[in-house]
Structure 1
Amino acid sequence: MDTLEMRAMPDTGVMENRSQFMAFVSDSESEELIKGLVQQLLIPHASIQRGDISVAIRQLEEVRSPPLLIVDLSDSKMPLQDINALADVCEPGVKVIAIGEQNDVGLFRDLMRAGVSDYLVKPLNSSLLQTAVVSSEEGMDTRIGSKIARLSVFMGVHGGVGASTLAANIAYHFSSEFKRRTSLLDLDLQTGVSSLLLDSDPVSGLLEALDDPRRTDSLVVERLASKVDEKLFVFGSETPLERPISSGFRGMEAFLQEVRQQCHFVVADLPRHLLSPAAQMVRSASTIVLVTDLTLAGLRDTARYVQALGALQCPGEVLVVANKAPDSRSARFKESEIREQLGRDIDFTVSLDTKAFQDAELRGEPLIAGSHAASRQIKAIAERVSGRGDPRRTRGSILKRLIGR
């Protein structure tokens, strides 16, 4: 595969291991024209490869998306479907110029509605190509898929129910199994455990970014996140215990906006006492997961938090997860009693499985990577939280789901 790597400009402000421009073209004439344009415009960190949009999709599943991308639709039998598949693997905010052989006004309009910045018909014209590239770089607000990261908020209704463990495991699943760029945000800024769970060291500066919107910029992930692997990043903090912490979160909106533009998924681990200060974040979440245990206090507090989320007018789906659940023989409450306490059903249960936790610890891997009952149950939650799961699959008796694990 012929690849052109250019370093015509200094590395200032360029993200690590990320091409700033990529092109996938299926013919030599277009390839040479794009190479000439890259040299003329001094585009740094550019990669030009031989291949159509299917090659682009396969490669961008494994590497970071560039801010600007050219893809070739010449051999595509279903261009819109391929563009949607490309949008699924690209990071939010990527601008795409499509090229192809169909001179079709209908196709052009469909591609524009899908978020493509421009569509150029082969043979390419140097002047039109340059105009398309420059217009994209100058900030025309067209982005493939027109999406930002899906945000999920995990909150334990009282201490020790395992909300942080579930959040970390599900973030790991999004990155390792779905191969999607994922950020885990631990908002327990003094005693959060997300970094410990994923064997990473927190980077200083998160508290300042959340307090002051001026501390957030386009390199927020590179500056403030601990990199677990190529697709998983943890925002954590070990703020000194004696230091007072403002809970105003004045910088939260700007911070989340930047992170969500650079990821496919954001998983937030929210301490329950910060529900009110972080209300705007919770309102913007696609899914809010309340984690409880099957105790009287747990059920009481779950009902109160469900009510509070309703009062905050949160439009996202609210899921209730009973973690560390005993088997049916030692269950303290009947299903009817649980429903009466909550005013609703529990959506998922995760078994109290000591062996699964011990095995995961010995392997040095998150629990979700295993094959125990608890691992399978957490994977089912991950599917639902990701937006891919079918809600109908989770219906049925809580006790039946425990017995059938």
Structure 2
Amino acid sequence: MKMETQKEMKDIKSQAGTNDSVQKQIKDKFGIDIDQWQFDADFMGFVTDEHSLNMVKDATSDLFKGAKLYQAPLKAVYHFLKQNGLPDIVLLDLSAENDLRAAAQALIAIDKKAHLVVIGRENEIELYRDLMEIGVADYLVKPVTAHETQRVINRIMDAKQAALMDEDQDLYEQILVMGCRGGVGTSTVATNLAWILSEELNNQTCLFDLDVHFGTAALLLDLQPCAGLRDALKKPERLDKLLLSSSASKMTKKLSVLALEESPNSELRVDPSAANMICNFLEEDNRFAVIDLPRTAIHLFEPMMKKASHLL
């Protein structure tokens, strides 16, 4: 039985390149014109009986607008998917196949990133484990129900959404806040933005006030500035992760602040290369860096502005 299925899949693969002849064979044998099928990149379903077709239709009516569902044998389905690729989620009835594992593996080989849900007849844990091992997303046993089908599809969609959120969490974003003139509330915006990102949205965030003489970030948060930042800005060659960590004032577990309150008579000037190095270090431990950039020094920080994810 296994040899017959493997031979059948091999025959389908070998014929996949001759589109016209294969499509004519499919039309002559099964009365199916796959030229009339419409490809959908999000979801498609292929079943072999009317009951399954109705159940899948009920399950997907609220999930996908105008879901593309077809009742057809594997030969027609394989040829169509070989030519068009697999949608993101594809539900496929393989209950008529002698070797369900081999049939599923042949389809997964077309696109390993697709989420393949297989329908079969055998309710065996060993079969389920084998299918999961080769990359099948889930397995449904006939007779399928609308509720179970919808539950499986929802689980796949939820897992995809969670994966996207995890990817977003790994991204570092640098937000530059600048004012057109003094007194317009630039520091207030930067400080409140950093607080929201860290405390309300639960992201590791650093607020970096680059206005070392007239900046108000530390004052707004009632923090004592750390003198270590002065050394880091004056001598960038000494800058390392340890020095930067000791230079930051810890407001909360999620929010740290880099700020100074230098006297107007102080000769301290921010070295742009030092500021860029600090931003590079911030990327290692923070999800967000909110940088309050003094309007008088914007021309010195063009590289930082180009790297910024957002400019406010």
Higher share of residues assigned helix: 2
Larger RCO: 1 or 2 (CA < 8 Å, sep 6+): 2
Q: Which has the larger radius of gyration?
A: 2
Q: TM-score, normalised by structure 1?
A: 0.36
